Amino acid sequence: MDGKSKPAPLAYQNEPFLNSPDGRILRILAEYAEPLSRFRREQIQDTVVFFGSARFCSRLDAQRNLLGIEANAGEGASLEQQIQLKRALASVNMARYYEDARRLAFLLTQWSIHIPARRRRFVVTTGGGPGIMEAANLGAQEAGGKTIGLNINLPAEQAPNSYITPSLNFEFHYFFMRKFWFAYLAKALVIFPGGFGTLDELFEILTLAQTEKLAKRILVVIYGSEYWSRVINFQAMVDAGTISEEDLDLFKIVDSPEEGFEYLREGLTRHHLVPQPRHVEAVPEIAKTNP
């Protein structure tokens, strides 16, 4: 032996360290820097984010599922089959939201890809999974545009849907970094019927807007008054004094893809395409970096 030690691994090539608690800050930074690099490479200036239930499916798939359950159940359906039938009927009813998300994403993308700009504007973005996410990615793809999927690594694996632009298919470990990328480039949110995750995203952005913590105007479209009027009573919050009457102006409730598109087109044009007067008040440095 010559007495010489083997070279130690470079810190950024030391996998045990990178995967340790001490390497967490590097993993967090990677979930900021790597998407940023790809967004720049793909010339993504800003996005419109679609949220909604991962449990909805297309009308065709819902009807096929219902027919299959009805065929298996027959007249003497068991309790479990009755529950399956009830859920299948609900799925057929809610499939209209899948189709509407697909249509709205198509209309928005068809318009946005013809905006004269150096970079891509108002790119349809989702959480990358099934349901409303799949529908919006599909609609954007059908219109000939790029479309983004910000997936999350979960114990029950959520596979990315097949309609995401491959170069814009992301996988996150940290929920808060995924949520950062939902909000950072967004100029609008479209909230379709959904569960806890959808409510979380909706109220987080409404809270930031209400407390004036956003350095830009983010349009919020809540889709489906029939569903949302049963889930949230905004007027009751006003009546109780927990929010102001003016807070109802932070969002717009719509009931058709065409209504949603017209609201988005008008608002995005007015707030983000027409040159805005310069403000003299100080803007936080992080806000100044926002495209």
**Residue 109 resides in a domain:** yes
**∠ Cα 206 211 217 (to 5°):** 60
Query: Domain range holding 155?
Result: 33-58+96-273
More confident residue, 57 or 83: 57
- Stated as kind and residue range, the H or E segment containing 191 is strand 186-191
**Residue 54 resides in a domain:** yes
- Which CATH number does the domain housing residue 190 bear? 3.40.50.450
Is the Cβ–Cβ distance between 204 and 186 less than 8 Å? Answer: no
Identify the residue whose tokens are 């209309």: 107
Hey, what are 147's tokens? 């479309």
Q: How far apart are CA 132 and CA 50, in angstroms?
A: 8
CB atoms within 10 A of CB 48: 27
Q: Is the whole model's pTM more than 0.85, yes or no?
A: yes
SS3 39: helix
**Residue 22 resides in a domain:** no
| pLDDT at residue 60 greater than cutoff 50 | yes
- State phi, psi for 148 to the nearest 5 degrees: -105, 145
Q: How far apart are CA 186 and CA 209, in angstroms?
A: 13
Share of the chain above pLDDT 90, in %: 76
**What band does 19 get if pLDDT is binned at 50, 70 and 90?**
very high
Nearest to 190 by CA among 238, 122, 246, 114: 122
More confident residue, 13 or 100: 100
The pLDDT mean for the chain works out to: 91
188-224 tens-digit pLDDT: 999 999 999 999 999 999 999 999 999 899 999 999 9
Count of structural domains within the chain: 1
**Residue 45 resides in a domain:** yes
Nearest to 112 by CA among 97, 125, 99: 125
**Residue 77 resides in a domain:** no
**Residue 178 resides in a domain:** yes
Nearest to 149 by CA among 128, 131, 119: 128
Is the Cβ–Cβ distance between 105 and 261 less than 8 Å? Answer: no
**Residue 221 resides in a domain:** yes
**Residue 27 resides in a domain:** no
